[in-house]
Structure 1
């Protein structure tokens, strides 16, 4: 049998290898640091920086306010190394989210680069589909007798807010909107209306679709009242009310409504549209409709 000979390394060779390992341990971090510093310097190069912010699509929201928020988010650097104004590194998603969160009037924000120098901020503002009003809470207003208020005093005693098609309350109305908007009546869960929802999102879609369907009957809703027991009353411009349950299928309720008002016995009594003969129609009981004629 043969024995394997032990391998011996000279002290000089071991020392040389140790120096090589130590050199690599020092050289590689220095090389990596140099790369980071080089990229950091490059990220701040003038030809790679955003020079200007332009805002488009705003009407109610001040352009200066929007631009100031964007400029604030472009200040500084990531990790203290990479400029946030760099055309490849700027925090696009963060800026878009902050604009929508800070300005309730904005429904969407899109950011893009123009000519690799200009940051283009395209905003879309919410459109008012209705108003929601509440009584002012001052001692003076609370002490008034509502029945004795004139129309002007009544308007001044209310604080109104704009609501979009999703039921989102997004802004206060400085002046009384009068009868130019559909009016929502009912309680909301928040003490601060702006930023709150009058409808749950699924309910807002249901209501919006129902109101769109009503156009085919040539009537216009003027007020919608929401009660705690899910009862919803839609007051129409022909002095008639539609009563629904918020949890029901409103598309089916509309189909039942059309079937009822299209009956020959009611059509002959209408004065301009199919719903005008009715004082109210209760649509909460499926195919069984309750109604009262005028």
Structure 2
């Protein structure tokens, strides 16, 4: 009888056990090396030369400096998996700190982190700058001579600063009404701090249009954003009304052409007597005088 080998080796039980022992020894050795590396890195991460020693908030006239510092220090407490301290200069939770700062302090536009000499954590704060004011309601929108509380009929803590991006970020003092243009909304924004009044694109369009009206001798004081229309209050008590989504260049051109018409030009104090100028119909201007 001829025996042909299949190429496979039949291992004995003793050989198999020996092979298992070698594998276990190898795995045990690798585990020991891994644990030693973890221990060494953990021990190294706790050395004082690798730990944040202090927090410094950098920025001109940062209002909530102490509160910001408190939030940062709170995020630096504790350790990762009870091993690596969060104050480690290489592993501190920068993204989480930045996220919390932007959420808790709407006035912060951005925060930049840097570990300086003596392991001081420097946080450079870029604060939002007031561009306009948002008030929850307006009682006397067309009289800029009144103080903000008199003009709006609301308490001082119900008017807020808006930055150039349209974000509501801080309570506005009562004396700010004569310095910044005032916006309001037909439907007040609940808990407005940190919310966007309008998009940056919309705010740019509105503010640009309002500024251009000075060329037509129209001085605006307040703009109300409705569901489908804008209501612009001008000195004298009148309103200019137009639809949302309209071509602002066309609105301006129609208004300019209307005011340049001879029949309008010959009327005494036309803008001071109107109740409204309605530009919601394309290429038409409707108006009504106050009674």
| C-alpha distance in 1 between matches for 2:149 and 2:247 | 40
Q: CA offsets per residue over residues 37-69 of structure 1, 9 Å max, x none?
A: 222222222222222222122536221111111
| C-alpha distance in 2 between matches for 1:205 and 1:152 | 23
Instruction: Give 1:48's aligned residue.
Output: 50
Question: Are the counterparts in 1 of residues 258 and 264 from structure 2 also a CA contact under 8 Å?
Answer: no
CA RMSD of aligned residues (A): 3.7
Question: What is the CA distance between 1:240 and its match in structure 2?
Answer: 5.2
Please point out which of 243, 264, 283 is paired with 2:279: 283
Q: Provide the TM-score with structure 2 as the length reference.
A: 0.76
| C-alpha distance in 2 between matches for 1:56 and 1:35 | 37
In structure 2, the CA distance between the partners of 1:40 and 1:178, relative to structure 1 (3 Å rule), is same
| C-alpha distance in 1 between matches for 2:232 and 2:221 | 8
Question: Are the counterparts in 2 of residues 53 and 67 from structure 1 also a CA contact under 8 Å?
Answer: yes
Question: What is the CA distance between 1:264 and its match in structure 2?
Answer: 6.7
Question: What is the CA distance between 1:223 and its match in structure 2?
Answer: 0.9
Equivalent residues in 2 for 1:210-229 (5 A)?
210-214=209-213, 219-228=218-227
Q: Provide the TM-score with structure 1 as the length reference.
A: 0.75
Please tell me whether residue 121 in structure 1 is matched to residue 123 in structure 2: yes
Question: Are the counterparts in 2 of residues 52 and 119 from structure 1 also a CA contact under 8 Å?
Answer: yes
| C-alpha distance in 1 between matches for 2:147 and 2:265 | 37
Q: How many residues were matched structurally?
A: 275
Question: Are the counterparts in 2 of residues 188 and 197 from structure 1 also a CA contact under 8 Å?
Answer: no
Q: CA offsets per residue over residues 232-255 of structure 1, 9 Å max, x none?
A: 221234765321212323343234
Which runs of 5 or more structure 2 residues have no equivalent in the other structure? 138-145
Please tell me whether residue 265 in structure 1 is matched to residue 267 in structure 2: no
In structure 2, the CA distance between the partners of 1:190 and 1:237, relative to structure 1 (3 Å rule), is closer
Which runs of 5 or more structure 1 residues have no equivalent in the other structure? 136-149
Instruction: Give 2:182's aligned residue.
Output: 183
